[in-house]
Amino acid sequence: MAKPIICTHCNSPMQEYSGPRYNRKVAGFFIIGGIFAVLFWVGMVLGIPLILVGLYMLGAKRELWVCKDCNTAVERFNIDSEKLGK
């Protein structure tokens, strides 16, 4: 098991967090707006891209390291150790 990441502000261990990257309400508005555009208004030129962007926003995840003591968050990156030569 890997060593925990230590917070630079309060020196306590940080925990992994995975959650939505974008606001789900905005993604829902995009999807509903896209369906409305396809059915009644501008058509597929505007509706289909709105639906696709909304679906992407619903599925996108954000991975962070979060300190529970001081609420500091750091973006988490997965680095392949084989590419680093280790």
User: What is the fold of 1-21+62-86?
Assistant: N-terminal domain of TfIIb (2.20.25)
pLDDT at 41: 65
Q: What is the pLDDT along the chain (86 residues), one digit of tens a residue?
A: 467 788 888 888 888 888 888 989 999 999 999 999 998 866 878 899 999 999 999 999 888 888 888 888 888 776 766 666 65
Q: Which two tokens stand for residue 69?
A: 């003591």
For residue 3, give Cα distances in angstroms to 13, 15, 60, 81. Answer: 9, 11, 27, 15
pLDDT at 2: 64
Domain boundaries, the chain: 1-21+62-86, 22-59
pLDDT at 7: 85
